Amino acid sequence: MEKLLLKYDDYFLAVARPIIEHDEYQKMKVIPHHHGSVFEHSLDVAYLSYKIAMKFRLDVISTIRGALLHDFYLYKFKKREDKNLLAESYRHSRNHPKIAVKNAQKYFELNKKERDIISNHMFPVGLPRSYEAWVTTIADKSLALTEYTTRVYCFAYLKLYLHLVQKSA
């Protein structure tokens, strides 16, 4: 795990460690999210949120803790073929913050801002009530977009590669 943490600074890790080393939190390593895991995604969202929160002199500790736990729902989101994908995605968007906050309260002591960050990060499904929650919402959306576009690029590259290999055969 230490190798994975090299890209984060000491202050961030000092605040994050009690959460990320928790056995329940470690379970997120096997839950997929775009091209990685929910574990990696949550750490990246928390780190970006922390950097923004520092810049705007916000509550950095609550930002890191809340952002780390924003997707602490601990289940695999499966798109079932027989179901309406849009309706299922909406349901997931609405439900997973509620489950995440419930899980987070079970294992960690949360303050009001941390609960706000987790509960309302899916804006416009929820409405952030603090600057810290807005920061995490924005960081989450921008990183999700990057993760998704990276996957699209990889797929396009793979298709092009296969096409060229086929042509040269």
Nearer to Fe ion, 116 or 140 (CB): 140
Nearer to Fe ion, 71 or 116 (CB): 71
Build a one-symbol-per-residue string for 68-107: x at contacts with Fe ion by CB under 5 A, - elsewhere: ---x------------------------------------
Rounded to whole angstroms, how far apart are CA atoms 120 and 138?
11
C-beta of residue 5 within 8 angstroms of C-beta of residue 100: no
Q: Does 44 bind Fe ion (CB under 5 A)?
A: no
Residues 123-142 that bind Fe ion (CB under 5 A): 140
Binding residues for Fe ion, how many (CB under 5 A)?
2
Distances (CA, A) of 100 to 4, 106, 108, 141, 166: 23, 10, 12, 17, 46
Selection from 18, 8, 4, 19 nearest residue 47 by Cα: 8
Q: Which residues bind Fe ion (CB under 5 A)?
A: 71, 140
